[in-house]
């Protein structure tokens, strides 16, 4: 008999507030029934790593683990290496030190946020207060990107589609995107400012606030005039709904 459980995996951080935001979002999951849920982290958070989460669920008799990778893009090498280490794919598409996990249950691997309409709404909700003259404003989404070409292409596919969806629910002139790897942030900023004369509102595309939002992005834009949300996706009530929707969709595919 199939007994499902849900394992939510995100990157992890040394900042306790980062971890707490993920935990709070998971506590509000709209899941029905008595389905075990575990939250794990790829690194740093000792005692709550991925193997710990697997063990917690299997100790409760879970036979089928639905894995939700809580990352913003399929272009993340972490999404790929976790899939490999969980046995959801035979080989990793990049070098990884992640060893295969010890698993007895069946693994059902989900997809990260990418360009889901709910993610677009979250992004717009974070930036809309800075929009004061929409006819003169452009939103610039800034994502991590990748030094690997195949992963960069996945990043571009997701963030470009997300930008279009944010544009469709906003009232600004345009919604563009830039990546930190390879660095295109300053170039896209100058394109809209110098060539078109628009005010640019920068919206970081990161799960939770940390080093990249506080330090890296502002450093890349030093000396330029712009508005900056400085806000990550979390906290946002829709993220709990997004996780729940992913879990419900995958649960529907299991023979319970």
Confidence of residue 26 (pLDDT cuts 50, 70, 90): confident
Instruction: Give yes or no for residue 216 having a pLDDT over 90.
Output: yes
pLDDT per residue over 54-69, tens digit each? 999 999 999 999 999 9
Confidence of residue 9 (pLDDT cuts 50, 70, 90): very high
Same domain, 93 and 130: no
Same domain, 72 and 173: no
CA distance 189 to 185: 6
Q: What percent of the chain has pLDDT over 70?
A: 98
Same domain, 149 and 183: yes
Predicted confidence at residue 183, as pLDDT, reads 94
Return the exposure string of 1-23: e unless at least 16 CB atoms fall within 10 Å of the residue's CB, then b.
Answer: eebbbbbbbbbbbeeeebbebbe
Q: What is the mean pLDDT of residues 44-51?
A: 85
Q: Which domain holds residue 20?
A: 4-113+236-251
Query: What is the helix (H) or strand (E) element at residue 240, kind and residue range?
Result: helix 237-251
Same domain, 28 and 107: yes
CATH code for the domain of 207: 3.40.50.1400
Mean of the per-residue pLDDT values of the chain: 91
Query: What DSSP character marks residue 49?
Result: B
Confidence of residue 95 (pLDDT cuts 50, 70, 90): confident
pTM of structure: 0.91
Q: Contact, 138 vs 192, CB < 8 A?
A: yes
Distance of CA 65 to the CA centre of its chain: 20
At a CB cut-off of 8 Å and minimum separation 6, what does 103 contact?
Answer: 54, 58, 65, 86, 87
Same domain, 70 and 163: no
Same domain, 240 and 188: no
Q: Contact, 235 vs 125, CB < 8 A?
A: no
Predicted confidence at residue 32, as pLDDT, reads 61
């Amino acid at each position: 008999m199939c007994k499902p459980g849900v394992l939510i995996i995100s990157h992890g951080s040394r900042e306790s507030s980062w971890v707490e935001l993920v935990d709070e979002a998971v506590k509000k999951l709209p899941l029905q029934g008595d389905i075990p849920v575990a939250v794990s982290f790829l690194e740093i958070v000792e005692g709550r790593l991925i193997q710990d989460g697997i063990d917690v669920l299997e100790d409760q008799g879970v036979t089928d683990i639905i894995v939700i990778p809580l990352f913003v893009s399929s272009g993340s090498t972490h999404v790929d290496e976790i899939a490999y280490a969980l046995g959801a794919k035979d080989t990793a598409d990049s070098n990884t030190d992640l060893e295969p996990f010890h698993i007895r249950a069946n693994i059902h691997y989900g997809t990260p946020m990418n360009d889901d309409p709910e993610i677009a709404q979250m992004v717009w909700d974070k930036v809309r207060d800075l929009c004061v003259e929409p006819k003169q404003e452009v939103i610039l989404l800034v994502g991590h990107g990748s030094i690997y070409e195949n992963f960069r292409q996945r990043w571009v596919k997701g963030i470009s589609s997300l930008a279009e969806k944010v544009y469709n629910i906003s009232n600004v002139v345009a919604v563009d995107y830039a990546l930190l790897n390879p660095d295109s942030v300053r170039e896209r900023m100058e394109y809209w400012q110098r060539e078109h004369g628009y005010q640019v509102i920068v919206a970081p595309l990161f799960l939770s606030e940390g080093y990249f939002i506080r330090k890296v992005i502002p450093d890349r834009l030093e000396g330029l005039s712009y508005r900056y949300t400085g806000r990550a996706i979390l906290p946002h009530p829709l993220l709990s709904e997004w996780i729940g929707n992913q879990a419900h969709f995958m649960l529907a595919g299991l023979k319970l």
